[in-house]
Amino acid sequence: MIELTPLARPYAKALFSSAKDSKKLDQMADELKVMAAASATEGVINTIENPSLSRQEIVDILIKLFEENVSSNSLKLIEILAENKRLNLLEPIYFIYQDLLEKHNDQNSIEVFVAAEPGEKAKENIEKKLRTTYGKDAKINFLKDPKMMGGLSIKIGDETLDLSIRGKVNKLVNQLNF
């Protein structure tokens, strides 16, 4: 499968620059989030990949879908992506834009992978400890990964702290195999 991040980066940077100039960074982030979430749904994927629809018909359908929820800049993005046959980049564009926004705001993004949704008290304790270490404005997302078997794994930027049972089992297997 082709890595989409390098293809999405120029679009995300251009959007970020435009949103920064118009002082609408958060609004654009919200709009991209909506479009990225919708682009991952089966209905939108089927529309984008439908060979019987022309590019203009696909654009018209997507614009009709989003026009009440997004600005003209976001609608223009859809047109440009369709023209370049890159509608599959909406989700990577959103993630790159989020990274740019976090760097702009000096905000850490922390992903906490758990096997099962933690209780409210446990979640609060984890968030409190992470915010103490990485800043009060750290953005913390909890994501479920049932393959972990238990425990948790914390990803901050490109660093990962694996405290999961799966991680411990893998480490043990590696030690036994040399």
pLDDT tens across the length of the chain (178 residues): 457 778 888 988 988 888 888 888 888 888 888 888 888 888 888 888 888 888 888 888 888 888 888 888 888 888 888 888 888 888 889 988 888 887 777 667 788 888 888 889 988 998 898 888 877 777 888 888 888 888 888 888 667 888 888 888 888 888 888 6
Q: Do the bridges between strand 152-156 and strand 159-162 make them parallel or antiparallel, or are there none, so unpaired? A: antiparallel
Using CB atoms within 10 A of its CB, is residue 178 exposed (0-12), middle (13-18) or buried (19+)?
exposed
In degrees and rounded to multiples of 5, residue 122 shows phi and psi of: -65, -40
Domains, in order of start, for the chain: 5-103 (1.10.520.20), 108-177 (no CATH)
Instruction: State which amino acid sits at residue 98.
Output: Q
In DSSP notation, 103-117 reads HHTT--EEEEEESSP
- pLDDT given at position 178: 67
Give the whole-angstrom CA distance, residue 66 versus residue 91: 15
- pLDDT given at position 106: 67
SS3 assignment, position 14: helix
Residue (of 56, 88, 92, 62) closest to 74 by Cα position? 62
- pLDDT given at position 165: 87
Query: In the structure encoding, which two tokens stand for residue 21, read together?
Result: 């100039």
pTM passes above 0.75: no
State whether the Cα torsion 18-21-23-26 is positive or negative. positive
- pLDDT given at position 1: 40
| The Cα angle at residue 135 between residues 111 and 15, in degrees rounded to 5 | 65
- pLDDT given at position 154: 87
